[in-house]
A and B are shown apart, each in its own frame.
Chain A
Amino acid sequence: AQSVTQLGSHVSVSEGALVLLRCNYSSSVPPYLFWYVQYPNQGLQLLLKYTTGATLVKGINGFEAEFKKSETSFHLTKPSAHMSDAAEYFCAVRTSGNQFYFGTGTSLTVIP
Protein backbone atom coordinates (compact mmCIF):
# COMPACT_ATOMS: atom_id res chain seq x y z
CA ALA A 1 0.00 0.00 0.00
CA GLN A 2 1.09 3.52 -0.70
CA SER A 3 1.03 6.29 1.85
CA VAL A 4 2.63 9.60 2.65
CA THR A 5 3.40 11.00 6.08
CA GLN A 6 4.14 14.65 6.64
CA LEU A 7 5.53 15.29 10.09
CA GLY A 8 4.22 18.49 11.58
CA SER A 9 0.91 19.92 10.41
CA HIS A 10 2.19 23.40 11.31
CA VAL A 11 5.74 24.70 11.02
CA SER A 12 6.90 28.20 11.95
CA VAL A 13 10.23 29.68 10.94
CA SER A 14 11.74 33.12 11.16
CA GLU A 15 12.33 35.08 7.99
CA GLY A 16 15.78 34.19 6.69
CA ALA A 17 15.91 30.87 8.56
CA LEU A 18 16.13 27.41 7.06
CA VAL A 19 12.88 25.80 5.99
CA LEU A 20 12.64 22.03 6.47
CA LEU A 21 9.41 20.21 5.76
CA ARG A 22 9.46 16.48 6.27
CA CYS A 23 7.92 13.81 4.10
CA ASN A 24 8.16 10.06 4.37
CA TYR A 25 6.45 7.65 2.03
CA SER A 26 5.76 4.00 1.64
CA SER A 27 5.72 2.37 -1.74
CA SER A 28 6.08 -1.13 -3.06
CA VAL A 29 7.64 0.09 -6.30
CA PRO A 30 10.08 2.89 -7.18
CA PRO A 31 8.08 6.04 -6.60
CA TYR A 32 7.68 9.34 -8.32
CA LEU A 33 7.65 12.02 -5.63
CA PHE A 34 6.24 15.52 -5.64
CA TRP A 35 5.91 18.63 -3.55
CA TYR A 36 3.00 20.96 -4.19
CA VAL A 37 2.30 24.33 -2.62
CA GLN A 38 -1.06 25.97 -2.10
CA TYR A 39 -1.16 29.69 -1.47
CA PRO A 40 -4.32 31.14 0.04
CA ASN A 41 -7.27 31.03 -2.36
CA GLN A 42 -5.20 29.40 -5.08
CA GLY A 43 -4.81 25.93 -6.52
CA LEU A 44 -2.02 23.44 -5.98
CA GLN A 45 1.17 24.49 -7.70
CA LEU A 46 3.95 22.04 -8.44
CA LEU A 47 7.14 22.99 -6.60
CA LEU A 48 9.32 20.12 -7.73
CA LYS A 49 9.29 16.46 -8.61
CA TYR A 50 11.53 13.43 -8.56
CA THR A 51 11.03 10.76 -11.21
CA THR A 52 14.38 9.16 -11.94
CA GLY A 53 18.02 10.17 -12.02
CA ALA A 54 19.58 12.72 -9.71
CA THR A 55 18.23 12.38 -6.21
CA LEU A 56 18.58 16.06 -5.35
CA VAL A 57 15.98 18.00 -7.25
CA LYS A 58 15.60 21.74 -7.45
CA GLY A 59 12.31 23.47 -7.80
CA ILE A 60 10.86 26.90 -8.07
CA ASN A 61 11.33 29.70 -5.56
CA GLY A 62 14.60 28.30 -4.22
CA PHE A 63 13.18 25.05 -2.87
CA GLU A 64 14.87 21.70 -3.24
CA ALA A 65 14.28 18.16 -2.05
CA GLU A 66 16.37 15.04 -1.79
CA PHE A 67 15.10 11.55 -2.47
CA LYS A 68 16.62 9.14 0.05
CA LYS A 69 15.56 5.62 -0.77
CA SER A 70 17.13 4.07 2.34
CA GLU A 71 15.15 6.44 4.54
CA THR A 72 12.02 6.49 2.32
CA SER A 73 12.11 10.26 2.64
CA PHE A 74 11.70 13.27 0.41
CA HIS A 75 12.18 16.27 2.66
CA LEU A 76 11.72 19.78 1.30
CA THR A 77 14.22 22.50 2.16
CA LYS A 78 14.94 26.12 1.45
CA PRO A 79 18.02 27.85 2.88
CA SER A 80 16.36 31.15 3.70
CA ALA A 81 12.66 31.63 4.30
CA HIS A 82 10.84 34.57 2.79
CA MET A 83 7.53 35.99 3.88
CA SER A 84 6.03 34.95 0.56
CA ASP A 85 6.74 31.30 1.37
CA ALA A 86 3.87 31.22 3.84
CA ALA A 87 1.50 28.62 2.42
CA GLU A 88 0.42 25.01 2.76
CA TYR A 89 2.73 22.38 1.38
CA PHE A 90 1.77 18.90 0.25
CA CYS A 91 3.98 15.92 -0.41
CA ALA A 92 2.67 13.33 -2.87
CA VAL A 93 3.74 10.00 -4.28
CA ARG A 94 2.76 8.28 -7.48
CA THR A 95 3.58 4.64 -7.83
CA SER A 96 2.49 2.15 -10.44
CA GLY A 97 -0.88 3.63 -11.24
CA ASN A 98 -1.97 7.12 -12.12
CA GLN A 99 -3.19 8.07 -8.68
CA PHE A 100 -1.34 10.52 -6.50
CA TYR A 101 -1.27 9.80 -2.78
CA PHE A 102 -0.96 12.94 -0.72
CA GLY A 103 0.09 13.69 2.80
CA THR A 104 -2.10 15.72 5.12
CA GLY A 105 -0.20 18.91 4.38
CA THR A 106 2.06 21.22 6.36
CA SER A 107 1.12 24.82 6.94
CA LEU A 108 4.20 27.04 6.92
CA THR A 109 4.22 30.32 8.83
CA VAL A 110 7.07 32.77 8.34
CA ILE A 111 7.68 35.10 11.24
CA PRO A 112 9.11 38.53 10.40
Chain B
Amino acid sequence: EAGVTQFPSHSVIEKGQTVTLRCDPISGHDNLYWYRRVMGKEIKFLLHFVKESKQDESGMPNNRFLAERTGGTYSTLKVQPAELEDSGVYFCASSPAGKAYEQYFGPGTRLTVT
Protein backbone atom coordinates (compact mmCIF):
# COMPACT_ATOMS: atom_id res chain seq x y z
CA GLU B 1 0.00 0.00 0.00
CA ALA B 2 1.43 3.35 -1.01
CA GLY B 3 1.90 5.90 1.74
CA VAL B 4 1.17 9.60 1.73
CA THR B 5 3.11 11.31 -1.02
CA GLN B 6 3.98 14.96 -1.40
CA PHE B 7 5.28 16.97 -4.30
CA PRO B 8 7.65 18.66 -4.68
CA SER B 9 10.11 17.55 -2.03
CA HIS B 10 11.85 20.91 -2.15
CA SER B 11 10.87 24.30 -3.52
CA VAL B 12 12.86 27.51 -3.56
CA ILE B 13 11.00 30.63 -4.62
CA GLU B 14 11.40 34.36 -4.32
CA LYS B 15 9.31 36.54 -2.09
CA GLY B 16 6.14 37.53 -3.90
CA GLN B 17 5.97 34.44 -6.06
CA THR B 18 3.33 31.72 -5.93
CA VAL B 19 3.91 28.11 -4.97
CA THR B 20 1.55 25.15 -4.99
CA LEU B 21 2.21 22.08 -2.89
CA ARG B 22 0.49 18.81 -3.57
CA CYS B 23 -0.45 15.93 -1.29
CA ASP B 24 -1.75 12.53 -2.29
CA PRO B 25 -3.21 10.74 0.72
CA ILE B 26 -3.39 7.02 1.26
CA SER B 27 -6.09 5.63 -1.00
CA GLY B 28 -9.46 5.51 0.72
CA HIS B 29 -8.57 7.90 3.52
CA ASP B 30 -11.32 10.45 3.97
CA ASN B 31 -9.33 12.68 6.31
CA LEU B 32 -6.49 14.83 5.07
CA TYR B 33 -4.46 17.27 7.14
CA TRP B 34 -1.86 19.90 6.47
CA TYR B 35 0.78 20.83 9.04
CA ARG B 36 3.78 23.15 8.93
CA ARG B 37 7.07 23.25 10.76
CA VAL B 38 8.96 26.48 10.81
CA MET B 39 12.65 25.89 11.48
CA GLY B 40 13.37 24.79 15.02
CA LYS B 41 9.79 25.11 16.15
CA GLU B 42 6.93 22.72 16.66
CA ILE B 43 4.89 21.17 13.90
CA LYS B 44 1.68 23.16 13.73
CA PHE B 45 -1.72 22.20 12.41
CA LEU B 46 -2.99 24.16 9.43
CA LEU B 47 -6.23 22.53 8.36
CA HIS B 48 -8.27 19.36 8.07
CA PHE B 49 -10.37 18.07 5.18
CA VAL B 50 -13.04 15.42 5.40
CA LYS B 51 -13.37 14.28 1.83
CA GLU B 52 -13.64 17.53 -0.13
CA SER B 53 -14.95 19.66 2.74
CA LYS B 54 -12.85 21.80 5.07
CA GLN B 55 -13.59 20.52 8.55
CA ASP B 56 -11.26 22.81 10.41
CA GLU B 57 -9.05 25.55 9.00
CA SER B 58 -8.31 27.28 12.27
CA GLY B 59 -4.57 26.92 11.81
CA MET B 60 -4.28 28.67 8.46
CA PRO B 61 -2.03 31.66 9.08
CA ASN B 62 -3.67 34.17 6.75
CA ASN B 63 -5.52 34.54 3.46
CA ARG B 64 -2.37 34.08 1.43
CA PHE B 65 -2.82 30.37 1.98
CA LEU B 66 -5.46 28.48 0.01
CA ALA B 67 -6.09 24.77 0.37
CA GLU B 68 -8.27 22.69 -1.88
CA ARG B 69 -9.25 19.06 -2.17
CA THR B 70 -11.30 18.68 -5.29
CA GLY B 71 -13.08 15.37 -5.55
CA GLY B 72 -11.92 14.33 -2.14
CA THR B 73 -8.69 12.79 -3.38
CA TYR B 74 -5.47 14.78 -3.57
CA SER B 75 -5.06 18.18 -2.03
CA THR B 76 -3.16 21.31 -2.95
CA LEU B 77 -1.91 24.10 -0.75
CA LYS B 78 -1.19 27.35 -2.57
CA VAL B 79 0.76 30.20 -1.09
CA GLN B 80 0.25 33.49 -2.94
CA PRO B 81 2.17 35.72 -2.62
CA ALA B 82 4.87 33.97 -0.61
CA GLU B 83 6.61 35.79 2.21
CA LEU B 84 9.91 35.01 3.94
CA GLU B 85 8.15 33.72 7.06
CA ASP B 86 6.38 31.07 5.00
CA SER B 87 9.62 29.10 4.78
CA GLY B 88 9.46 25.74 6.49
CA VAL B 89 8.49 22.14 5.98
CA TYR B 90 4.89 21.45 5.04
CA PHE B 91 3.60 18.04 6.04
CA CYS B 92 0.50 16.31 4.85
CA ALA B 93 -1.18 13.49 6.74
CA SER B 94 -4.19 11.29 6.14
CA SER B 95 -6.35 9.01 8.22
CA PRO B 96 -9.24 6.65 7.66
CA ALA B 97 -12.83 7.69 8.36
CA GLY B 98 -13.57 7.61 12.05
CA LYS B 99 -9.91 7.27 13.01
CA ALA B 100 -8.62 10.80 13.21
CA TYR B 101 -6.06 9.63 15.77
CA GLU B 102 -4.40 7.35 13.25
CA GLN B 103 -2.64 9.90 11.10
CA TYR B 104 -0.05 8.82 8.54
CA PHE B 105 2.37 11.49 7.48
CA GLY B 106 4.07 12.20 4.21
CA PRO B 107 7.75 13.13 3.83
CA GLY B 108 7.01 16.83 3.69
CA THR B 109 7.80 19.62 1.26
CA ARG B 110 10.63 21.93 2.24
CA LEU B 111 9.75 25.44 1.12
CA THR B 112 12.37 28.16 1.09
CA VAL B 113 11.33 31.71 0.31
CA THR B 114 14.23 34.02 -0.48
Mostly, the A contact residues are strand
CB contacts (< 8 Å) of B61 on chain A: these are none
Give the total of A residues in contact with B, Cβ under 8 Å. Answer: 25
**Cα(A90)–Cα(B105), bound, Å:** 13
Over the window 31-42 of chain B, the binary record of Cβ atoms lying under 8 Å from chain A Cβ atoms (1 yes, 0 no) is: 101010000111
Q: Are A104 and B41 in contact (CB under 8 A)?
A: yes
Determine the distance from Cα of A44 to Cα of B35 in the docked complex, in whole angstroms: 12
In the complex the two chains form, is B43's CB within 8 Å of A90's CB? yes
Distance in Å: Cβ of A49 to nearest Cβ of chain B: 7
Quick one: given A43-B4, A43-B105, are A98 and B42 in contact (CB under 8 Å)?
A: no
Q: How far is the CB of A58 from chain B (nearest CB, A)?
A: 17
Note all chain B residues with C-beta closer than 8 A to A51: 101
Nearest A residue to B105 by beta-carbon distance?
A: A44
- Contact A98 B48, beta carbon cutoff 8 Å: yes
* B interface size (C-beta, 8 A): 26
State the CA gap A42–B6 with chains docked (Å).
11
Contacts of B40 in A (CB 8 A): 9, 104
Are A32 and B45 closer than 8 Å at their CB atoms? no
| Chain A residue nearest in CB terms to B48 | A98
Are A4 and B42 in touch, CB under 8 angstroms?
Answer: yes
Cα A61 to Cα B55 in complex, Å, equals 35
Which residue from B45, B91, B105, B106 sits with its C-beta under 8 Å from A101? B45
Tell me which residues across on chain B come within 8 A of A94, comparing CB atoms. Answer: 100-101
A46 an interface residue at 8 Å Cβ cutoff? yes
Query: Are A43 and B56 neighbours in the complex by a CB distance under 8 Å?
Result: no
- The answer to whether B105 touches A99, judged by C-beta atoms less than 8 angstroms apart, is no
Which B-chain residue is minimally distant from A92 (CB atoms)? B43
- Bitwise, A55-78 to B at CB < 8 A (1) or not (0) is 000000000000000000000000
Q: What are some 15 contacts across the A-B interface (CB < 8 A)? A: A4-B42, A32-B101, A42-B107, A43-B4, A46-B104, A90-B43, A92-B43, A98-B48, A99-B45, A99-B48, A99-B56, A101-B45, A103-B42, A104-B41, A104-B42
